[in-house]
Structure 1
């Protein structure tokens, strides 16, 4: 499992200008089966995505995010080798 931590490099107003394209990109990540959960950081300094799949594919997909392409946010991608989950979340161990 991967934690994709986005940190805004520009203001929220600048992020909002690219938000529609970013959200379409997020929806495609869910459609592909890569994204499991996502949301804004509180306070709003970026966001977090929980993902599964191949690291190189996750990295390439993050590089294609409109936020990345427009210099709005940078990504830190952390891989976690989960060993235990609550019942129903075994999918995260992939």
Structure 2
């Protein structure tokens, strides 16, 4: 499991130009079962995605399809972790 920490490296005006494409990318990854939760940071300097993809190389391939990555709008930091405790609902999702 990974936490993906996106940090914008350009102004929000440019990020917003690709926001709909980024949301489509996220929707596809949710449908494929790769992402569990995502959202904006406050203040809006980037975003966070939690992924249940277990292979870092595979996750990097997925991230390379993100319009924010393709258009060089954000830096991506991947932090791998093993969940020790979860709520019941998340435990169910992790077992799929």
Tell me the number of residue pairs that the alignment of Structure 1 and Structure 2 aligns.
94
TM-score by length of 2: 0.89
C-alpha displacement at 1:93, in angstroms?
A: 7.6
Segments of 4+ moved more than 4 angstroms: none
1:56-91 deviations in Å (ceiling 9; x for gaps): 211111122110110111100111111222333224
**Distance in 2 between the 1:47 and 1:81 partners?**
21
Distance in structure 1 (CA, Å) of the matches to 2:90 and 2:43: 27
Q: Does 1:87 align with 2:78?
A: no
Alpha-carbon RMSD across the aligned residues, in angstroms, is 1.6
Task: For structure 2, list consecutive stretches of 5 or more residues without a partner in the other structure.
Answer: none
Alignment correspondent of 1:74: 75
Can you list the C-alpha shifts for 1:26-69, whole angstroms capped at 9, x where unaligned? 11110110010000000000000011123221111112211011
TM-score normalised by the chain length of structure 1: 0.91
Structure 1 residue runs without a partner (length 5+) = none
Find the aligned partners of 2:46 and 2:19 in 1 and give their Cα distance.
Answer: 12
